[in-house]
A and B are shown apart, each in its own frame.
Chain A
Amino acid sequence: MNEIENVISLRAVGKTFISGETPIHILEDIDFDIQSGQSIAVTGKSGSGKSTLLNIVGTLDRPTTGSVYFQGQDTSTLTDRELSQFRNTNIGFIFQSHLLLDDFNALENVCIPALIKGMRAQQARRRAVELLVRVGLEDRLSHSPLKLSGGERQRIAICRALMNNPPIIIADEPTGSLDEESSQQVADILFELVEEEHKAMLLVTHDRQTAQRCASMYLLQNRSLQRLK
């Protein structure tokens, strides 16, 4: 098996929360690989630990046991500071509630990851405009997120996730808070862009139809992953 092919590999990952005296085991002994360009859907009941798993894959949280490898490198050896830089360049995040900075307009929101990375403002703008045009928001560039619809906000979040050209997109119920129509539209745009840009994607969704569009499907149940497709 070629490890380099895998963007992210989880090895014997477990996660236990201690709430009060009693430990709550959420994940146990999970082995799991995401290959470059591969899209994976994770489904499961509410509270089954999907978000917990995503946070661990996205290095926002550290596993209690086991390790997360990114392109063969163990991320547990990185400091918080190094992890910040790592996330900035290697992982694009999309969340359920389109978490945008309300103080910044659409274009600026998309630019932020690039600016944090140190890209020149001019160059960042050019790329951001290009992405926003592709999601059909060319006439919303200077709008405040507060004045945009949920679907539009989520499209901005998609652009932001792709901004630094990361090898993998992590999306936690990206259409979860949208109505059916805009949900469909956002999903279309997400899959289209991920495919065009050859990104790997880890997608958590309740919606079976959306999950079906991924190359592989997993069910998170009883603290472990079960392959459905």
Chain B
Amino acid sequence: MKRKTFWWLIGRLVVPPREFRRKRKRIIGSIVLIALVMIPLVVSILFMESMIQGMTDKYVMLQDGHIQAYDFVLGSDTQLGDERIFSADHSASVFGIAYSKTQTSEVKVKGVYPSYFNEARLQEISIDGTLPEYSGSAVPSVMMSSTTAKTLGVAIGERIALMLVPDSGTISARPVLARIDALYESGYRQIDATLMFMHIDDLLKFNTAGYSKRTEFIVQNESADNLSSVIDSLRQTYNPNIRWATWEAFNRSVYQNFMTSRQVILTVLIMISLVAGTYVSSIAAELVQDSHQSIALLKTLGATSANIHQAFFLTVACTTTLGLIIGMGIGLLLGTRLQSVLLWLAKADIPALRYYLLDFSLKIPWMSLLEVAAALLGISAVTVLIALRRIRKISPLELLQQE
């Protein structure tokens, strides 16, 4: 059969003439159904991946950097030889408790230089007030999250007391007075709840021996998935004996949580698309059942089983792909529209949603979308091929015996 005829036949089977309401309805119905399955899948993948990416970014940017080097301080004039590294900053951190006149809150005080808040980090937080500068002998200045400020019932310009717990057990904790010079908001409660910033020299001043210094490296986006090779080259450039860690090693449980939930959700979504895929084969079986006579007649007129098989397969493939594309399109559109709803929710500060990151930038996760689409197409291809085997068994004689 010539290709043109082929498409003509297929076209007619996909979109039968107006007289065939039932057939048309079934084809349109199956396109709609696949689209309806795809829409929530796409939206959930979009949100899940973007949210996890957003959370990862918060952890990386504000808490640990991509890579940390312990007990290692770069000179201020050290040139970063590696183009993959975006920035390197010193930091030190210590756990403690913050006291206001009426309330207390657990905190993690992080000592950084003002330059720590570079453009990449400023994208992750919004700051109100002035960044903590070195105070010398005066009361040190801190920047806390507006969440912590609310918990403590304090505002910019007011003072709090900090009880810092040193790493080393031999040094006893002592209370420190601090002034709130700035409030920040990262949009992610998990971080906002405890993280507080102070000038690193102020922090170290309190107990030099107790707080270990480290360097936080942020790498360029392209290298974020290949941190070990960056570490290897850092090892060679600097000191092979320095202890290095990546953010996911440092936040093993957080990272694993992300990965597990991502995998669980993706698996569930793939399962759903597999079910939808098997549904496609039932459409194929129905199409064959309905066209039993036509198939027998086409065989009588000289079409081979392979011809008819191919035509039906392509018909179902077109239907499925169309549903898939429509579903994905609507899903992506809806996903991007829904984000404004999320931003509104983030502002509304609903208690149940507090520990979710709602203010994240949407990134379309093509890989995961592709996986789900491939699962759907793959399983439907296989099940449809099985369903279409019946075509071979239809003999032209069946046509005549019905007389």
Interface residues of A in 75-113 (CB under 8 A from B): 80-81, 84-89, 93, 95-97, 99, 101-105, 108, 112-113
Given contacts A84-B302, A87-B302, A103-B12, contact A118 B396 (CB under 8 A): no
Are A89 and B2 interface neighbours, CB within 8 A? no
Return the contact of B5 from the options A86, A89, A99, A115 (Cβ within 8 A). Answer: A115
Residues of A contacting B307 with CB < 8 Å?
116
Are A93 and B4 interface neighbours, CB within 8 A? no
Residues of A contacting B297 with CB < 8 Å?
99, 101
Return the contact of A81 from the options B304, B396, B400 (Cβ within 8 A). Answer: B304
Q: Interface of chain B, helix or strand or loop or mixed? A: helix
Contact code string A137-158 (vs B, CB < 8 Å = 1, else 0): 0000000101000000000000
Return the contact of B396 from the options A60, A103, A105 (Cβ within 8 A). Answer: A60
Contact code string B1-32 (vs A, CB < 8 Å = 1, else 0): 11011001000110011011001000000000
How many inter-chain residue pairs (CB < 8 Å) link A and B? 85
B300 within 8 A of A: yes
Docked Cα-Cα span, A13 to B175, in Å, equals 112
Residues of B contacting A81 with CB < 8 Å?
304-306
Task: Count B interface residues, CB 8 Å.
Answer: 30
B294 within 8 A of A: yes
A117 within 8 A of B: yes
Residues of A contacting B399 with CB < 8 Å?
95, 99
Residues of B contacting A93 with CB < 8 Å?
300-301
Given contacts A116-B298, A144-B19, contact A55 B5 (CB under 8 A): no
Residues of A contacting B13 with CB < 8 Å?
103
Return the contact of B1 from the options A105, A115, A120, A144 (Cβ within 8 A). Answer: A115
Smallest CB–CB gap between B288 and chain A, Å? 14
Are B397 and A61 interface neighbours, CB within 8 A? yes
Residues of B contacting A121 with CB < 8 Å?
4-5, 8
- Most central of B4, B12, B302, B306 by chain A CB within 10 Å: B302
Are B19 and A146 interface neighbours, CB within 8 A? yes
Residues of A contacting B105 with CB < 8 Å?
none
Are A87 and B300 interface neighbours, CB within 8 A? yes
Docked Cα-Cα span, A152 to B400, in Å, equals 20
Docked Cα-Cα span, A115 to B307, in Å, equals 12
Are B301 and A103 interface neighbours, CB within 8 A? no
12 A-B contacts, Cβ less than 8 Å apart?
A51-B400, A61-B397, A81-B305, A84-B304, A87-B301, A87-B302, A97-B403, A103-B17, A105-B17, A115-B1, A116-B301, A116-B303
